[in-house]
Structure 1
Amino acid sequence: MFIPPQHPAIRTMGRIDDAAPSRPIWVYPYTQARFRCTGTAIGITLVNHWNYGESHVGAIVDGMQSRIRIPVNDEPITLTVADHLPDIEHEVTIFKRQDGEHYIELHGFALDDGAQILPPADPEPVRRIEIYGDSVSCGERNEAVRYTGMADPETDLSPYSNAWYSYGAITARNLGAQLHDVAQGGAALLDGIGWFNGPDYIGMEDIWDRIEYNPALGETKPWDFSRYTPHVVIIALGQNDAHPDDFMASDYHGAQARHWRARYADFIRALRERYPAALIVCATTVLRHDEAWDRAIDEVCCGIGDPKVTHFTYSRNGSATPGHPRIAEHEEMARELTAYLEGFGDDLWN
């Protein structure tokens, strides 16, 4: 039995390009669909628009998580999410594990003939968080737990990227909030630096207001900000910005460093224009980087003069690991970020 993606029982979350409701495009990590169903098997039908890495989709069925490899395909393909299930009611979440290294064109879901599909049992969260970040915010390579506290090995670890275990996703679940994870591995704040889309590097300034942004996968499309208004916005940039030149560390008062700080302030103001009431939290992560970047962010936050723009640092900020944070480090960050946001009280979510 085929279930179209726009079925009213299906609850979605994330920046989704649903201009064509029968085949919406999932771009950002942690984008997801939730529903309940009966039956013994669950499938997903999709087209994988691929740029690089090895693509997987994540699924949680009755509390058990799995990953399903997506082959590179130009035509719709149906993948098995779960089978040999008891014919009872199941809770299902299917989500995008990875960033814009690929887009998922969702065509629908497959259930047993005669199966029931129902909306999720719990109500949709009214609290809303949004993150603008890089690979850490994506949860990139975080399942490579053997390398906790170590540099990444020189091999493709894209299969070990899982947005479900990113610090932002864990924090959102801790707080009972929705999350839009506007994050891309390798992204700096500014175009021309960082790692994404090299050598013609694309920064968050060319991603943040788009629903699709990877030039290798087609034309960019603007995002309609009226569709989602967060209570909390987290800016988690200032790490990839040190590539190819760590100008903030080498020449803090130089022209390039001053330009970056001015553009960071402009980015905060652009977000404030979109979200007049949101708490904007500026941060980096526990991934090793020069403390000059946190000094720069603090200087900008203080200079903005907005009491709802804050600078948050983790207890092991910039010093925990030379490689991508693994699941344990994301959990550590989430505990601290959760406590920080809880400190603002319930009024934060009004």
Structure 2
Amino acid sequence: MLIPPNHPAIRTMGRIDDADPSRPIWVFPYTQARFRCTGTSVGMRLVNRRDYGDSTIGAVIDGVQVRARIPVDDEPVIVPFADHLPDIEHDVIVFKRQDGEHHLEILGFIVDDGAAVASPSAPEPMRRIEVYGDSVSCGERNEALLYTGQADPDVDLSPYSNAWFSYAAIAARRLNAQLHDVAQGGAALLDGIGWFNGPDYTGMESIWDRIEYNPRLGASRSWDFSRYTPHVVVVALGQNDAHPTDFMADDYDGEQARHWRERYGDFVHALRGRYPDALIVLATTVLNHDAAWDRAIGEVCAGIADPKVVHFLYTRNGSATPGHPRVAEHREMADELATFLEGFGERIWR
């Protein structure tokens, strides 16, 4: 039996293009749908639009996580998650593991014929977080556990990308908060540098206010900010801006570095314009990078002089690993970020 994606029992989270509610499009990592059902099997029907990488999708069924590979692109396909389950009520969360390397057109969720479908038993969290980031915020390559603390091997690790275990998602679950993970692997702050969508390169300044933004997967679409107002915004950008040249480290007072700091300040002001009351946390991550980037962010933060714009550094900021952080390092970051936010008390969630 096919449950349509706009069934009233299904609760969604994340920036979703639902211009056609019967065929919504998921782009950002950790976008998800949650529901309960009876029966012995769970799957979904979708169309995968892929730019690069090996596309997978995740599910958590009764607390057990499943990774499923999407076998074909550009045509409807059924992706099974579990069968031979006990014929009891199940809690189901289906989520997007990867970033905008692919889009998912959701056609529905598959359960047994005659199965009962109900809304999640847990209430929707009242707290709301939004993260603007790059591959680390996506959880890119974080399941390559044998390479913890090491450089990435020179192979395609896209199936090992799992947004569920990103620091952003782990921290949000610990804080019982919703999360919009507006993150894209390879994205710098600025267009024209970084790693995403080369050789022209698309930065977060052309992603942050979009639902869809990958030019190789279709037209750009704007996001309606009235649909989600976060209490906390985390900006975790700056590491990919060091490609192709690390201008902040090479010439901190040079024109390019000063221009970046100005544009970073503009980005923070744009966020404040959208979210007048949010706590805005400026950060990078534990991935190795030159400390000049954190100095720059701290300088911009001080210049903004807004008591609800703060600069946060992890204990091993910029020094924990030459490769993408793995799950253990994401847990480390999540614990520190959640503890930092808890220090503000309940007032930031009002």
Q: Which residue of 2 aligns with 1:190?
A: 190
Secondary structure at 2:321 match in 1: coil
Secondary structure at 1:114 match in 2: coil
Secondary structure at 1:75 match in 2: coil
Could you tell me how far apart the structure 1 residues matched to 2:170 and 2:25 are? 24
Could you tell me how far apart the structure 1 residues matched to 2:264 and 2:58 are? 33
Do the aligned partners of 1:142 and 1:327 also contact (CA within 8 Å) in 2?
yes
Q: Which residue of 2 aligns with 1:149?
A: 149
Q: Which residue of 2 aligns with 1:13?
A: 13
Q: Which residue of 2 aligns with 1:90?
A: 90
Could you tell me how far apart the structure 2 residues matched to 1:329 and 1:123 are? 30
Q: Which residue of 2 aligns with 1:74?
A: 74
Q: Which residue of 1 aligns with 2:246?
A: 246
Letter in 2 for 1:148: T
Secondary structure at 2:74 match in 1: strand
Deviation at 1:76, TM superposition (A): 1.1
TM-score by length of 2: 1.00
Deviation at 1:73, TM superposition (A): 2.2
Secondary structure at 1:131 match in 2: strand
Secondary structure at 1:73 match in 2: coil
Secondary structure at 2:339 match in 1: helix
Q: Which residue of 2 aligns with 1:101?
A: 101
Secondary structure at 1:128 match in 2: strand
Structure 2 gap ranges (5+): none
Alpha-carbon RMSD across the aligned residues, in angstroms, is 0.5
Do the aligned partners of 1:149 and 1:321 also contact (CA within 8 Å) in 2?
yes
What per-residue deviation string (whole Å, max 9, x for no partner) do you get for residues 72-121 of structure 1? 32221111111010100001000000000000000001111110001000
Letter in 1 for 2:53: G
Secondary structure at 1:301 match in 2: helix
Deviation at 1:8, TM superposition (A): 0.5
Secondary structure at 1:179 match in 2: strand
Q: State the number of aligned residues.
A: 350
TM-score by length of 1: 1.00
Could you tell me how far apart the structure 2 residues matched to 1:282 and 1:268 are? 9
Secondary structure at 2:76 match in 1: strand
**Are positions 1:301 and 2:298 aligned together?**
no
Secondary structure at 1:86 match in 2: coil
Structure 1 gap ranges (5+): none
Q: Which residue of 1 aligns with 2:204?
A: 204
Q: Which residue of 2 aligns with 1:119?
A: 119
**Are positions 1:323 and 2:339 aligned together?**
no
Do the aligned partners of 1:29 and 1:138 also contact (CA within 8 Å) in 2?
yes
Do the aligned partners of 1:49 and 1:72 also contact (CA within 8 Å) in 2?
no
What per-residue deviation string (whole Å, max 9, x for no partner) do you get for residues 39-61 of structure 1? 00111000000000000000010
**Are positions 1:179 and 2:179 aligned together?**
yes
Percent of residue pairs bearing the same amino acid type: 74
Do the aligned partners of 1:301 and 1:309 also contact (CA within 8 Å) in 2?
yes
Letter in 2 for 1:32: Q
Query: Runs (4+) of structure 1 moved beyond 2 Å?
Result: none
